[in-house]
Amino acid sequence: MSDLSVSVLFSSYNGASRRLRHTLDSLVCQELPHDQWELIAVDNNSNDGTFDLLKSYSDKLPITILQQRKPGKSGALNLALDRVKGDLIVFTDDDVRAEPNWLKAIVDCAVAHPDYGVFGGRIVPDWEKEPRDPFIEWIPMGSTFAIVDETQSGPCDPTKVWGPNTIIRRELLGTSVRYREDIGPLPGKIFAMGEDAEIIIRLAANGAQSYRCAEAVVHHWIPASSVTEDWVQKRGERLGYGMPALFPDEVPGGVRLSGVPLPTWIESAQWAFRAALLYLLPRSKTRFWAIWKYYYMRGYRAGIRRYAPGTLAR
């Protein structure tokens, strides 16, 4: 057995009201010995029984419980990062069910591939209700439900590592590389998606290489309420809102109107026109994507104003 140690991190906002117990139970069943890993769980301003539920696992898990009153997942994870001891830092969520060999597979992969600093495991859907609607075949599963159902291990593009199965060698983060707290989930408002992708992209720009470890598997809970065309289409707005934060160099230059580049306005108008034409027609993949893009562009415009507010032509 390798002497690599692991720190597992997640934050939870009102997790006791949802799936947190299932996550903790799956961690209890991990094959990796307790003396080789730690769990740092952050109660992020919950108003349910999250803290008490976490505390009830103190005799079952190598757990450290922190409390962060300021809402925001990224800030909560940064608080946890200041306490980690492991050689490998595993970022996950409070609504996953990990396979028993999850952490062992991560350690084995990191030992076998010492030249890689970033690892992404497999994330498969854990449906509350198995979807029967054909529209499920139309949607971008990664950006919608954080699914990475790639069954082959090997080197991968850093933009393919995200979500609740993200692993980084601690030496890459040091004491200064942290999550951007203006990106990531916040309760009750639109937020920029992509806080995990952003930090990986930053590390890749500094030379970190990424590897897909398909043997490390978590099941990501997807409630039935999220499996509707309307919910998925509107989620596109959050995705669009985060794109200027993740990829500011891709924001068009030139003349801006109300803070938004003219080419973005033109593209937005084109998708709005298509969505309006198709809205009353029968359901189809073309109709779905026109409406999805309408919401995406609406978010993208707001994201430009928030994250790329410059008004001069580049």
Is residue 311's pLDDT more than 90?
no
Is residue 36's pLDDT more than 60?
yes
Q: Name every residue whose Cβ is closer than 8 Å to that of residue 43 and which is 6 or more positions away in sequence.
A: 11, 12, 50, 51, 54, 65, 66, 67, 68
| pLDDT computed for residue 279 by the predictor | 95
Q: What is the pLDDT of residues 141-150, one digit of tens each?
A: 999 999 999 9
Specify the DSSP element, H or E, that contains 170. helix 170-173
CA–CA gap between residue 47 and residue 187 (Å, rounded): 12
E strands, 25-157, where? 37-44, 63-68, 88-91, 96-98, 118-127, 154-156
Q: What is the pLDDT of residues 236-248, one digit of tens each?
A: 999 999 999 999 9
The residue-averaged pLDDT of 86-101 equals: 98
Mean pLDDT lowest among 93-97, 120-124, 131-135, 299-303: 131-135
Q: What percentage of the chain reaches a pLDDT higher than 90?
A: 93
Q: Is 261 helix (H, G, I), strand (E, B) or coil?
A: strand
Q: What is the pLDDT of residues 254-294, one digit of tens each?
A: 999 999 999 999 999 999 999 999 999 999 999 999 999 99
| pLDDT computed for residue 164 by the predictor | 97
How many CB atoms sit inside 10 A of residue 254's CB?
A: 11
The residue-averaged pLDDT of 110-127 equals: 97
The residue-averaged pLDDT of 216-226 equals: 96
The residue-averaged pLDDT of 28-51 equals: 97
E strands, the chain, where? 6-12, 37-44, 63-68, 88-91, 96-98, 118-127, 154-156, 166-169, 210-222, 256-257, 260-261
Q: Is 258 helix (H, G, I), strand (E, B) or coil?
A: coil
**Model pTM score:** 0.93
| pLDDT computed for residue 189 by the predictor | 76
The residue-averaged pLDDT of 64-71 equals: 96
Is residue 130's pLDDT more than 80?
yes
| pLDDT computed for residue 225 by the predictor | 94
